[in-house]
Amino acid sequence: MPRATLYRWATTAHQLLQVGKTQQALDIFRGLVAASPHDSVFHCQLGAALMTLERVDEAFDAFQRSLQLNSTNGDALVGRGEILLRRGDVPGGLADFSTAIQNDPTLQRRSTQRARSLLVTLKQQSDQAQKSLASKTPAKK
């Protein structure tokens, strides 16, 4: 199948995902991955559909495969970073977010905007936790 046709199907699947028809989108993304197994974008989109269904381990594998094919895929970096945070691997998640932002410093992609927001939120939470801890620690004489 010509690449342009595959990408038209990907656009359709993305639109289905956006309107909540996740299973239909998932089926199309699986077909796209089967038709073009070396396309990083299709693996990434498959990961996004799987995340929507809370199939986190499968989504992680899809994002990993996407990044094996294209280590600079920002959407895959953010997706994998979110999963790493869920799994408690904060340094890994932060590293993925930082790399995605370095690759898109003007925050053109929604995923990079999301990564930036998450980093800001995590920083604020960290600052609050440090203040709280400092206020509970007795002063040294």
Query: What's the CATH code of the domain at 17?
Result: 1.25.40.10
Whether 13 is in a domain gets the answer: yes
Q: What is the pLDDT of residue 141?
A: 56
CA distance 19 to 32: 20
Q: What is the pLDDT of residue 48?
A: 96
Q: What is the pLDDT of residue 126?
A: 86
Whether 139 is in a domain gets the answer: no
- The residue whose two tokens read 């003007």 is 106
Between 136 and 20, whose confidence is greater? 20
Q: What is the pLDDT of residue 140?
A: 62
pLDDT for residue 138 is more than 90: no
CA distance 52 to 46: 10
Q: What is the pLDDT of residue 133?
A: 83
Q: Mean pLDDT throughout 76-101? A: 96
Q: What is the pLDDT of residue 9?
A: 97
Between 114 and 140, whose confidence is greater? 114
- Rounded to a whole number, what is the distance in angstroms from the first to the last CA of the chain? 75
pLDDT for residue 128 is more than 70: yes
Whether 87 is in a domain gets the answer: yes
Whether 132 is in a domain gets the answer: no
Whether 111 is in a domain gets the answer: yes
Whether 47 is in a domain gets the answer: yes
Q: What is the pLDDT of residue 135?
A: 82
Whether 63 is in a domain gets the answer: yes
**112: domain range?**
3-116
Whether 78 is in a domain gets the answer: yes
Q: What is the pLDDT of residue 11?
A: 96
What's the structural domain count of the chain? 1
Task: Count the alpha carbons within 13 Å of 90 in the hemisphere toward its beta carbon.
Answer: 5
